[in-house]
Amino acid sequence: MGTVSRCHRRQCDGGKASSVPPGMAARRALPERFADAADLTGAGKRVGPWPLPQVLSRSVERREEGRAEKRRGALLHDTRQILCMQNEQGGAMKAAVVQFRPTFGDVPGNAARILELVTEADAELFVFPELALTGYLFESTEEALALAQAPDDRVFDPIVRAAREKPAAVVLGFAERSPSGVYNSSMLVAPDGSRTTYRKIQLFWGEKKIFLPGDRPPETVEISGVRLGMMICFDWIFPEVARSLALQGADILCHPSNLVLPYCQAAMVTRCIENRVFAITANRIGTEERAGQSLTFTGLSEIVAPNGEILARATADREEVLVVEIDPLAARDKMATPTNDVLGDRRPELYTVGVMPGAADD
């Protein structure tokens, strides 16, 4: 029998920017509606010595009403060719990618918004954007430190309680205050309430003037048998980050982002293919104009399967929550073809890795 898959799309506040002033919690109610983006049934078939895997999840973007049925028909036509296997011993997980626009400097309001979204949406894993608590364009390190939080700060407590009650895992980006300075970090709140922090390794552009570079290697966290790894925004352009997590057994790359370049969403398809993992890239929307700069964020948050199929993708300019049922254990199958293991076939003894030839020692 095929597997029925469903992607839920929820639009938040009509995609409008928050008008709540800094220091005030956001209290607007979210629209109580979900729209099915796709309802597909796929059946696996055996061809040669290996099975063509079953479809577990898929979404359809319907930007033009007149093309909706045509696109749906094309999607149904190719379901048996999609390499997103449902592991016989696995199980579905509802994963949510959250695309929204934080209000700069309004830590209590942004935290309340995150709590509201976690409480309202039906999912077991939530991924929010980079620097979701503060906004992005800091004028100085001092300003970032003033708005930064320690990982055990009380602002996270309501989110931790919500994660326990659902239960769910929540990943969100924040400015991390530490004795040595401020980091661009993400936090994974587990269903048991534990908190794991990752510090962004590859800082982008003006971030280098504000944040300290991450000083710890990326690591995986196992939750209910599923291995999650965190990377942040510009980490995408360095394939070593995703590969490091894949080599540690990550099933899902949780990728909070504030993307302004047009390349990442497509590049994450490649990261998924070359590592045979799921990736959830949560981008923000809107424009920030501060510190003499103007940055417009590209939206298009997405959930991508190990075969590179885009299971859900948000719009470029609306706040949305997309929920997709996936089987995380599908990422344990590393065979790109019947004879090619994307991790097992590596030949690291022949690769040039580490310091570039001719680079000066630090």
Q: For the CA atoms of 75, 317, 101, 162, what is the dihedral angle to 10 degrees? A: -20
What Rg do the C-alpha atoms of the chain give, in angstroms?
Answer: 20
Structure tokens at 207: 């971030």
Structure tokens at 79: 């379901």
Q: Which residues of 153-174 are buried (b: 16+ CB within 10 A; e: fewer)?
A: eebbeebbebbeebebbbbbbb
* Alpha-carbon separation of residue 239 from 97, 244, 275 (angstroms): 22, 9, 10
Q: What DSSP string describes 287-327? A: EEEETTEEEE-----EEE-TTS-EEEE--SSS-EEEEEEE-
* Alpha-carbon separation of residue 181 from 177, 206, 218 (angstroms): 6, 16, 19
Q: What DSSP string describes 238-274? A: -HHHHHHHHHTT-SEEEEE----SSSHHHHHHHHHHH
Structure tokens at 288: 């920030």
Question: Which of helix, strand or coil describes residue 146?
Answer: helix
Active site residues: 130, 200, 233
Helices 157-165 and 107-120 sit at what angle, rounded to 10 degrees? 0
